[in-house]
Copies of this chain bind each other. A is one copy, B any other.
Amino acid sequence: MSELALRAAKLDGQDDLAGVRERFVLDEVVYLDGNSLGALPAHVPGRVEDVVRRQWGELRIRSWDESGWWTAPERIGDRIAPLVGAAAGQIVVADSTSVNVFKALVGAVRLAGEGRDEILVDATTFPTDGYIAESAARLTGCALRPLAPGEVPAALGDRTAAVLLNHVDYRTGRLHDLPSLTAAVHAAGAVSVWDLCHSAGALPVGLDEHGVDLAVGCTYKYLNGGPGSPAYLYVRRELQDRFDSPLPGWNSHAEPFGMRSAYEPAAGAPRGRVGTPDILSMLALEAALEVWEGVPVAAVRAKSLALTDFFLECVEAYVPAGRVACVTPVAHEERGSQIALRCADAGDVMKRLIERGVVGDFRQPDVLRFGFTPLYVGFADVERAARVLGEVAGAAAGRS
């Protein structure tokens, strides 16, 4: 056993979260793509079966009340709340991330008020945020200004209505400074919108503590809700009464079954709802969130940093010099829970890694992306992934 393998075994032995891995269905694969699709929690299939066979099949329409279907969006929102540092009553689960970005951005422009007609958006962001921001700007008569997150403070001004930022960059894994950027946005009198897709469930977010105005996130990455599980929308409590959704569907009405022709928005988090919730996906997510029972987010963050530190150390040891270059910041305060390595033949290398049982993903044009999900990835996984990467990259280099 190599020195790094021994270290890995020791680190796994000291890992307080090691037992949480039992809550998931896993096999011999080293799964480092949980930042794209989280693994299946072991108790989810049974719960989904109950939803399908009993709640839908036997109770049918009665389940909207009796099985709690109707209130699922806000109930599950309250379950996500502690993971992102939010008190109850501010998060609703509904729709996709893109649709929630639209609600949040148009809502933010309306909250900002008259005279503010510019939206700033992270130019390095996951593209959908930029596309949706462009549509929100067009429909609200705003100008859209794409820039790097570091340029935001200097760009803020009297015209700034809303600022859409990613907490962790999907490609590089860079963690942006949410507290100071939010404070800068507020100092300029603008409204902050954060996309938490790549941070929620991997590190503390502190929405309430840092006074974030609106936030959105997906639930199928670090929250393990299943493929395409519904996203969520956070609207800070003090803003809820003024939140004016561009998608005022009947589920967001103060009295949805009154079937009234005049729209009157519901109070609180349900105001962010739109149409009928997709119950199968939603209740699979609800079940999946139970894996967080007794798991402090601070412990997840500590393990996440230890995993990525150890991976970088193993890559340094195993991968021939010059074959890969780390794109992810080395400083802990700037690192999410993934490591992105630039590699000229990244597409080919990732294919071989997957064949050898190490699953990460390839991002155009030349990035190997490895996500570290502390609930079920261990240090031995990390050592093996780096070792196989070294073999694959070395072999490919030898061939060329």
List residues of chain A with CB under 8 Å of any chain B CB. Answer: 25, 27, 31, 33, 36-37, 39-40, 44-45, 48-49, 52-53, 55-58, 60-61, 63-64, 69, 95-99, 102, 106, 123, 126-128, 130-132, 134-135, 139-140, 146, 171, 218, 220, 226-231, 245-251, 253, 257-261, 263, 274-282, 284, 359, 361, 363-364
Contact = CB atoms under 8 A, between A and B. Distances in A.
29 contacts: A25-B57, A40-B52, A40-B60, A45-B53, A45-B57, A48-B49, A49-B49, A95-B95, A95-B96, A96-B274, A96-B278, A98-B251, A98-B274, A99-B99, A99-B275, A123-B261, A127-B253, A131-B248, A131-B249, A131-B250, A132-B247, A135-B247, A146-B261, A227-B278, A228-B276, A228-B278, A228-B279, A229-B280, A279-B281
A121 to B, nearest CB: 10
A33 B95 CA distance: 25
Closest 3 CB pairs of A and B: A96-B275, A98-B249, A98-B275
Residue from A52, A146, A253, A364 having most chain B Cβ neighbours under 10 A: A52
Nearest to A363: B259
A58 B227 CA distance: 13
A259 B127 contact: yes
A39 B275 CA distance: 20
B359 A60 contact: yes
Given A37-B56, A123-B261, A278-B280, 16 more contacts: A45-B49, A45-B52, A49-B49, A52-B284, A55-B227, A69-B228, A96-B276, A99-B249, A126-B259, A127-B261, A131-B248, A135-B248, A227-B280, A229-B280, A230-B278, A281-B281
A41 B250 CA distance: 28
Contacts of A57: 25, 39-40, 45
B249 A96 contact: yes
Residue from A27, A53, A96, A97 having most chain B Cβ neighbours under 10 A: A96
A179 to B, nearest CB: 27
Contact of A58 (B27, B218, B364): B27
Contacts of A246: 102, 135, 139
Given A33-B60, A60-B39, A250-B128, A227 B275 contact: no
Residue from A44, A97, A274, A284 having most chain B Cβ neighbours under 10 A: A274
